[in-house]
Amino acid sequence: MKSLPLPIHVRAYTATSAVGSGKKSLRHAALHQSHGLTPLCTTQLKHSDKLDTWIGQVKGLEIELPTPWAQWDCRNNRLAWMGLQQDNFLLDVRHAIERHGPSRVGVVIGTSTSSIGATEEAYAIRRATGTLPSHASNQHLHTLHSLSSFVATALETQGPSFTISTACSSSAKAVCAAARLLKLNLVDAVVVGGVDSLCSSILFGFNALQLLSPDPCQPFDVHRKGINLGEAAGFALLERGEGSTQLLGYGESSDAHHMSAPHPTGQGAEIALDLALKMAELEAKDIDHIHLHGTATPKNDEVEAALLQRRFTENTWASSTKGITGHTLGAAGILGTAFNLLSLEEGWIPGTANTRELDANCGPQIQLRPAYRNTRTVASHSFAFGGSNCILIWGRI
């Protein structure tokens, strides 16, 4: 049996997305059911006139990174830096380094895009001018690990650091990797996070897969038409020891079915659920709220709704926030964690923004409206391309 013998608590967390920077923005958007989505054609993003879809864009990313970090400058790392500066997160990490020493603080970040936007730009410049720009030879930038190495440098940590890239489960799996580092006493604290930014690869890739919605996305709605892509940066500082909010359990599994469609019976997701519940020593009915993956694709929502009906009672409420922020891919997991932790600390749960009429296969669990609810135990779902599933359970002690 996998056990979580150590208490692991959340020392600090923050999230920045299309609805604004920091927890206050997330809270405001959730409680007012307001979204930060805009039509792609109204943005300055490249090729924005070619696709009919809505996106969740973060404002204010025109500012370059501070000069010492110029080699990492790109949209994704600017978003990471913006995210790190919210909610006193930098100060909390600095204090953790003072408490434990820099080599005892690790950094595990999830991303699917990392700096690929910079590589796209290099090719665009070559098409226009005939040669690649000088930044094309910046090997610190054009690598998937660029984000994590930038974050570790900016935070001045010297503990273990690697990048997890498993599409939409990346930043949830970062929490699991951090828990293992803590369990084996290789670190005393870990900065986990996820940052993904809007770029042509994902916009046109998802368009090619016919998964983009031309309207604001409507998770679990009978008329849902697919996803809206979004960008976000989220981070959490996990530390060994007791605290008011703790990681109770986690479960990871593989669908082993298809690269971009979930297993039709949700069996992979259920394996992850059972592993998480077993580790947490809980039953499904003990979960007060689930932050759903709820991307608004026909398949994901169908399978996820069926899983809810099969395994949970009406006492477990559930909602998807993809209608507020868009689907932020590599950052989706950490956003789910941020919503989970806000629920535990503040006693409310988000609704399912933009959704008007629930699909017939949705049970009583899915909430359209936000609500005040005294939650003790919450969970988040992340189900990714490649059949990667990750479920986290957090608790208020």
Subset of residues 196 to 215 that bind other proteins, contact rule: CB under 8 A: 200-201, 203-210
Q: Which residue carries 């920077």 as its tokens?
A: 21
Does residue 180 belong to the site contacting other proteins (CB under 8 A)? yes
Q: Which of 20, 226, 268, 395 binds other proteins (CB under 8 A)?
A: 268
Q: How far apart are the first and last CA of the chain?
A: 23
Q: How far is the CB of 27 from other proteins (least distance, A)?
A: 32
Does residue 293 belong to the site contacting other proteins (CB under 8 A)? no
Q: Which stretch binds other proteins (CB under 8 A): 84-92, 161-169, 226-234, 283-291?
A: 161-169
Query: Using CA atoms, how far apart are residues 239 and 183, in angstroms rounded to an integer?
Result: 11
Does residue 388 belong to the site contacting other proteins (CB under 8 A)? yes
Rg (CA), the chain: 20
Q: Which amino acid is present at 119? A: T
Q: Does 362 qualify as catalytic in the annotation?
A: no
Closer of 159 and 370 to other proteins (Cβ) = 159
Does residue 166 belong to the site contacting other proteins (CB under 8 A)? yes
Q: Of 263, 327, 362, 381, which is the active-site residue?
A: 327
Contact (CB, 8 A) for 391 and 293: no
Strands, DSSP E only, in 257-316? 289-291
Strands 289-291 and 232-240: unpaired
Q: Does 289 qualify as catalytic in the annotation?
A: no
Strands, DSSP E only, in the chain? 8-17, 20-21, 37-39, 54-56, 105-110, 161-164, 189-196, 229-230, 232-240, 245-254, 289-291, 317-319, 348-349, 371-372, 377-384, 388-396
Does residue 282 belong to the site contacting other proteins (CB under 8 A)? no
Q: Does 135 qualify as catalytic in the annotation?
A: no
335 by Cβ neighbours in 10 Å (0-12 / 13-18 / 19+) ranks as: buried
Does residue 77 belong to the site contacting other proteins (CB under 8 A)? no
Q: Which stretch binds other proteins (CB under 8 A): 53-61, 65-73, 165-173, 339-347?
A: 165-173
Query: Using CA atoms, how far apart are residues 38 and 42, in angstroms rounded to an integer?
Result: 7
Does residue 28 belong to the site contacting other proteins (CB under 8 A)? no
Strands, DSSP E only, in 105-196? 105-110, 161-164, 189-196
Category of 139 on φ-ψ map: left (φ > 0), alpha (ψ -120 to 50) or beta = alpha
Q: Which of residues 121-160 bind other proteins (CB under 8 A)?
A: 122-124, 126-127, 132, 136-139, 141-145, 148-149, 152, 158-160
Coil, helix or strand at residue 134: helix
Q: Which stretch binds other proteins (CB under 8 A): 91-99, 184-192, 289-297, 337-345?
A: 184-192
Does residue 315 belong to the site contacting other proteins (CB under 8 A)? no
Does residue 48 belong to the site contacting other proteins (CB under 8 A)? no
Q: Which of residues 221-260 bind other proteins (CB under 8 A)?
A: 252-260
Q: Which of 79, 154, 271, 324 binds other proteins (CB under 8 A)?
A: 271
Q: Which of residues 89-108 bind other proteins (CB under 8 A)?
A: 102-103
Would you please indicate which residues are annotated as catalytic (active-site) residues?
A: 168, 293, 327
